[in-house]
Structure formats: structure tokens, C-alpha cells
Amino acid sequence: MPLPPGRKRRVKAPPGRPLTVDLIVDTALQLLVSEGLDAISMRKVAKEFDTGPASLYAHVSDKDELLELLLDKIAGQVTLPEPDPDRWQEQLKDLAREIRKVWGEHKDIARAFVGRFPVGPNQLRVADTLLGVLRAGRIPPKVAVYAVDVLGRYVNAETLASTGPAFQVEPGKDPERSAQEYTARIADYLRALPPQRYPHIVDMVDQLLGQDSDQRFEFGLNLLVQSFASYAGKED
């Protein structure tokens, strides 16, 4: 469970209990939830145990392996269905929503999933289930592989767009208020554009800046799944 804002504590191994991979990964997870992906480093994780990075290397070879273990632990929180040919489209949508929810509960972790091939057992189970759902819908193997890749990129991008500001929040300032001020500045800028050159942007400022992230996600998700469904039963 994440610590309340403003309350940080060191995570020490209990007396007589040595460091373990699980304890190190759990500590990295706490850092992630409290401070974000950039806080994850061997040095910073070791500091939580009042020790140096060298003490971690007996259990985790480097930051990349630590990150891979962290990603797999998070992927293990995704609830997976048993593929159902009669419900494959809704199952695919539900899985995309579930992945977005889990990623979104862990700060900007979606950044770390971008461009990585799943290698951990939990990540592999998620990927295999996605492929299984698509194959249950009679999507050809090659198309199913592309579909999983495209869907994963879409979920990662939408999660990042929903969990992090598009600007740097000044220290001590309220993020929500900063977001409102940023949106107001952009709105003023767009409304001041020459309408003869940018007629549609000027006319649609409210729609452009008033998007609901959940509605936008559902819109794109429906488009993707409808596109995947058009390949059902076709040859690869």
C-alpha cells in the first residue's frame, strides 16, 4: 500500500533476515508509487535499506534487471480471462481497460513498458492471454501479433497521457491548479490564432481542450477492436 503523501520511511530487512529479491523489488515498487519511475535506481533503492548499491548486486545484477522484475510484479496484478469465442471483442476491451487501470495505479510505469518485449512470467501470461483472446475470435496469427503490439502501444500512450502532466509542475505548486492554468493559457493562445489560417482549430478550441480521457480511450479502443474484427476468419 502506498505511503500517505509527506510520510516516507525506510524499508529495512527484519533483524536476522537478509535482503532478498522480493524485498528489493517491493522497495522499488514503493519508490515508484511515491516518486515515479525516475526514482528507481540501484543507489536509491539501496539507500532505503541504509546500505550501498553493492549490497543489492548479489540479488539483482543491475538496474535493468530490477526494472524488469518490477514490471513483471506489476503485470501480475492484471486479472486475466479465459478466452471465450463468443465474447472475444468485449474480453479484449476489458483486458485493455484492466491493463490501463493497473498501469495507471503505478505513476508513470507505462514509460518502462514501451519498446520492451515481455520476458517475465506475468508479462508473458498477459501477452499470451491477449493472443488467446484474438485467436478465439479467429484472428489470423500474424494479424493477432500485430494487434497485440498496436493495442499495447495504444494503452501505454493513453495511460501516460492520463497519468502525467504535459508540462513541468513548479515545486510547491498544486498540480491540479497548474493544469488548469496551463489549459487556460493554451486556450487563450489558440483563440488568438488567425481564423483565416486555422479556421477549424479556432472554431473547436473547447472540444480540443475539453476532452475526457476515459471517453477518448473508449473511442480509440472501439476503433481498434472493430478493425481487428474485420480480419476474423481471413487467411494470414
Query: Is it the case that residue 178 has pLDDT exceeding 80?
Result: no
What gap in Å lies between CA 170 and CA 16, rounded to an integer? 43
pLDDT confidence band for 3 (50 / 70 / 90)? very low
For the stretch 140-161, what's the b/e string if a residue is b when 16 or more beta carbons lie within 10 angstroms of its beta carbon?
beebbbebbeebbebbbebbbe
d(CA 202, CA 190): 6
In degrees and rounded to multiples of 5, residue 93 shows phi and psi of -65, -45
C-alpha cell at 47: 539507500
pTM of the model: 0.85
CATH T-level assignment (fold) for domain 79-164+212-229:
Tetracycline Repressor; domain 2 (1.10.357)
Question: What are 136-148's pLDDT values in tens digits?
Answer: 999 999 999 999 9
pLDDT at 175: 67
More confident residue, 118 or 170: 118
Each domain of the chain, given as residue ranges in start order, spans 21-74, 79-164+212-229
Average confidence (pLDDT) over 79-85: 97
Does CATH number 1.10.10.60 belong to domain 21-74? yes
How far apart are alpha carbons 71 and 38 in whole angstroms?
A: 14
